[in-house]
Amino acid sequence: MTSGVAVILAIESSCDETAVAIVRGEPGCAATVLASEVASQIELHREHGGVVPELASRNHSLCLRGLVEKALAAASVSMRDIDAFAATSGPGLASSLLIGSTAAKGMACALDRPFLAINHLEGHLLSPFIDRTEVPPHLALIVSGGHTLLLDVKGPGIYQKLGGTRDDAAGEAYDKVGKMLGLPYPGGPEIEKVARNGDCRAFDFPRSMLADPHLDFSFSGLKTAVLYTLQREGTGVSVADVAASFQQSVIEILVGKTLRAARTSGRRTVALSGGVSLNKALRAAFLTAGSEAGYEIVTAPPAWCTDNAAMIAFAALLRHLAGESSPLDGDIHPNLPLA
């Protein structure tokens, strides 16, 4: 266990966002995000309809140094004020992960500081608690472009997987359906925007596995149902109605499975994180259903929902304060599981 105040600089480069953050904290106190800088590549990849790994890693290399300098200036600290360096080690694109991991290791080595390799999913998992004094036992749903995951959380680093996606993640389904509807990439925010003007009961799309006793998810059947509907309805179909109906199906699946997991686990606090958790309709549904069932629903602030380095720095801070570190010769893990 490390006592006293610690300052962590972390890099997130698991996919197409280059991010650097500096977080300060001490045992028993809420962490303070001193700086959080993100360089988005959405416009770069939009013309390709998805992330191109080579372009992503190349742009990480181009902008990482500038982001580090910008974060240090924003936090009003120097490199020598940093107590430990961290980076995302997985899951993610190998070529992207290598950029951030190598840079953080280099800085740690040069300044003789500890290095911490952080699981990207753990960053999301802990993000709702960045501004709290502790991470309490809770039921967690991570819902993003690549992951839909239910976990029972006893405390930092103590996680039990209860369910996950068997095919497409929720965010991936959003992107694919958005493409079917002719909406720009990424599809999630665009579908949410269009769905506001649609009838969510216009089409009865499947709630896959919602009634099954297990806690796994499947969104491939829902995606296929949207495709067949578009083929059947033709060009006259209401894009807004399809988007709203699709979104309603996703929401009912996520809320239903998550609250069932909370009942099974006995947890009274439910935390929602990941990029898809930015969806206002999803948040509203969770808050309403959670309140009616007597659960505390905790969501990450919007800035910490999409890929960012503040969540990586916070996860690293907790591990650093617990006396942990990672070897400098450790490798990245593109398919790294959380539990």
- E strands, the chain, where? 6-12, 17-25, 32-40, 84-90, 115-119, 138-143, 148-155, 158-164, 269-273, 296-299
For 282-339, write each residue's pLDDT tens digit.
999 999 999 999 999 999 889 999 999 999 999 999 999 999 999 999 999 999 999 8
Q: Provide the 10 A C-beta neighbour count for residue 212.
A: 10
Contacts of 288 (CB under 8 A, 6+ apart): none
Task: Report pTM.
Answer: 0.95
For 123-149, write each residue's pLDDT tens digit.
999 999 999 999 999 999 999 988 999
125, 159 contact by CB (below 8 A): yes
Where in the sequence of the chain do the CATH 3.30.420.40 domains occur?
6-131+305-321, 138-300
In b/e form, how buried is each residue of 162-197, taking b as 16+ CB within 10 angstroms?
Answer: bbbbeebbbbbbbbbbbbbbebebbbbbbbbebbee
Residue 2 has pLDDT above 70, yes or no: no
CATH of domain 6-131+305-321: 3.30.420.40
For 26-83, write each residue's pLDDT tens digit.
999 999 999 999 998 877 888 888 888 888 899 889 999 999 999 999 999 999 999 9
For 185-219, write each residue's pLDDT tens digit.
899 999 999 999 999 999 999 999 999 999 999 99
pLDDT over 90 percentage in the chain? 89
Q: Per CATH, the architecture of 138-300 is what?
A: 2-Layer Sandwich (3.30)
**The pLDDT value given to residue 52:** 87
Q: What is the token pair recorded at 165?
A: 């996606």
Q: Under DSSP, is residue 175 helix (H, G, I), strand (E, B) or coil?
A: helix
Q: Under DSSP, is residue 49 helix (H, G, I), strand (E, B) or coil?
A: coil
**The pLDDT value given to residue 59:** 87
**153, β-bridge pairs:** 138, 159
